[in-house]
Amino acid sequence: MLYDNIEIKNGRLYFAGADTVELAEKYGTPLYLMDENKIRERCREYKSALDAFAPEGSCAIYASKACCFGGIYKIVAEEGLGADVVSAGEIFTAKSAGFPMERGYFQGNNKTDEDIRFALGCGVGYFVCDNFEELDALDRIAGERGVVQKILLRVTPGIDPHTYDEVATGKVDSKFGIAVETGQALEAVKSALSKKNLSLEGIHCHVGSMVFDSDVFIRAAAVMLGFAAEIKKVFGFDIKILDLGGGYGVKYYEGQGEIDIPANIKQVAEYVAGKSNELGIKTPSLRLEPGRSIVADAGITLYTVGSVKKITGYKNYVSIDGGMTDNPRYALYESRYTVVTANKADAEIDLTADLVGRCCESGDIIQPAVGFPADIGRGDIVAVLTTGAYNYSMASNYNRIPRPPIVMVKDGESRVAVRRESLEDLIKNDIL
């Protein structure tokens, strides 16, 4: 099926070698499943491509906003990746899981003084500085603590990655970073170099998410290296690190585009080396920040059907026990997914219905116009595939619905990695 960790046996959907119907019975639904071997395989793909083709010191940084919980930081740490963290909450989760914080990269366009103090206290390796105010604040607070903090400067290269607007972040008018085109990024370099408690290590950009065009990172690298050459010319300063962000796309349904990530990394690394040579600057080491492509196909979500509503002459609905609270991506971006009826996985598909959640709003759609077996009904198990990225991490308690657990599957064995939220969890901060 869609990925090699998905198969159909005896009419049932298997994921990572385990029978999903049995897992639904054992742990209840809604249920996030994650395939540990797949996460490790994806980490290794990045690591081996960068080790093979990029200069020494290059590495992949897992963008943990894609899926953030203690256990994942442990896996990523073991696989030798860094971690992109965007809040005190992500930093705290990583640190509590024993993640080596010197491999942390603190991102974000508005780090408060409190965030900065917290991150410095946790020993986060790099700050990816987004704006002039942050440079001033970080310099001041690092000075108070008597440390010199390593930073990258986030700039916008003015690249349109041809993806959807909510996730396109590298354009000149983005809320993130400082524009190269307007000359403001060069001003920011001047500011960073003048600060005695900051050590400018390199430059960063992130053009967007769900990138399939193989030239996007090369176009970004071209602008970034041109900027590095300007920095060299104006300040006589060589950047050590070029961070090209994340964004590689993943396949959510058959027929969707694909990108060969290791091959693209090779192309990008060769381009960076060649272009640096041509521009007379030292070849910087590379950073890539994959989130989605590390975890997306390592996850699926299981639900139990509650009702099948056939509105004669109009349309059909299959309602499940989860919804936009555990997967808001269709509601937000009209994202497409592949859906399988897990306990009737090889039955003929002859009913078309919208797969909808249990929240009190019509926009609570997981996927419109899905094919189901004609006899689908209450108690059947529905699986939504490729939900490992931006599902759990974007889940909410809307309608006071508890978040599902994450069960990690490895070699056919399963264990709870995040427990199911309880009703008590939902009221624990309420003061009467």
87 CA to centre of own chain: 14
Q: In this structure, what DSSP letter does residue 396 have?
A: -
293 makes contact with ligand LLP (CB under 6 A): yes
Three-state DSSP at 12 gives strand
Would you say 239 or 294 has its CB closer to ligand LLP?
Answer: 294
209 makes contact with ligand LLP (CB under 6 A): yes
Residue among 77, 112, 51, 68 nearest 288 (CA)? 51
291 makes contact with ligand LLP (CB under 6 A): yes
Three-state DSSP at 16 gives coil
Residue among 9, 22, 3, 4 nearest 346 (CA)? 9
Q: How far is the CB of 85 from ligand LLP (least distance, A)?
A: 11
Q: How far is the CB of 80 from ligand LLP (least distance, A)?
A: 18
Can you name the residues that pair with 149 across neighbouring β-strands? 198
Active-site amino acid positions: 360
Q: What strands lie across the sheet with 12-15, from one edge to the other?
A: 6-9, 12-15, 18-19
Q: Taking contact as CB under 6 A, which single stretch among the options 191-199, 242-250, 269-277, 308-316 is the one that binds ligand LLP?
A: 242-250
Q: How far is the CB of 105 from ligand LLP (least distance, A)?
A: 9
Q: Taking contact as CB under 6 A, which single stretch among the options 222-230, 289-297, 396-404, 422-430 is the one that binds ligand LLP?
A: 289-297
Burial class (CB in 10 A: 0-12, 13-18, 19+), 351: middle
CA-to-CA distance for 148 and 283, rounded, in angstroms? Answer: 24
Q: How far is the CB of 33 from ligand LLP (least distance, A)?
A: 18
352: which residues sit within 8 A by CB, 6+ positions away? 316, 369, 370, 371, 372
244 makes contact with ligand LLP (CB under 6 A): no
Q: Taking contact as CB under 6 A, which single stretch among the options 20-28, 74-82, 291-299, 359-367 is the one that binds ligand LLP?
A: 291-299
Q: Taking contact as CB under 6 A, which single stretch among the options 52-60, 185-193, 266-274, 284-292 is the one that binds ligand LLP?
A: 284-292
Q: Which of 6, 24, 43, 66 binds ligand LLP (CB under 6 A)?
A: 66
Residues 2-61 that bind ligand LLP (CB under 6 A): none
DSSP 375-402: T--TT-EEEEES-SSSSGGG---GGGPP
Q: Taking contact as CB under 6 A, which single stretch among the options 52-60, 67-75, 90-98, 245-253 is the one that binds ligand LLP?
A: 245-253
Do residues 56 and 81 touch, judged by C-beta distance below 8 A?
A: no
Residues 313-352 that bind ligand LLP (CB under 6 A): 329, 333
Q: In this structure, what DSSP letter does residue 411 have?
A: T
CA-to-CA distance for 41 and 330, rounded, in angstroms? Answer: 27
Count residues binding ligand LLP (CB under 6 A).
20
Burial class (CB in 10 A: 0-12, 13-18, 19+), 62: buried
Q: Which of 82, 125, 170, 246 binds ligand LLP (CB under 6 A)?
A: 246
Q: Which of 245, 284, 322, 357 binds ligand LLP (CB under 6 A)?
A: 245
Sign of CA dihedral 51, 52, 57, 60: negative
Residues 82-111 that bind ligand LLP (CB under 6 A): 84, 107
247 makes contact with ligand LLP (CB under 6 A): yes
CA-to-CA distance for 3 and 92, rounded, in angstroms? Answer: 33
Q: How far is the CB of 390 from ligand LLP (least distance, A)?
A: 3
292 makes contact with ligand LLP (CB under 6 A): yes
Phi-psi map region of 46: left, alpha, beta (phi>0 left; psi -120 to 50 alpha)? alpha
206 makes contact with ligand LLP (CB under 6 A): yes
Instruction: Name the amino acid, one letter, at 389.
Output: A
Would you say 291 or 357 has its CB closer to ligand LLP?
Answer: 291
Interface residue list for ligand LLP (CB under 6 A): 63, 66, 84, 107, 167, 169, 206, 209, 245-248, 289-293, 329, 333, 390
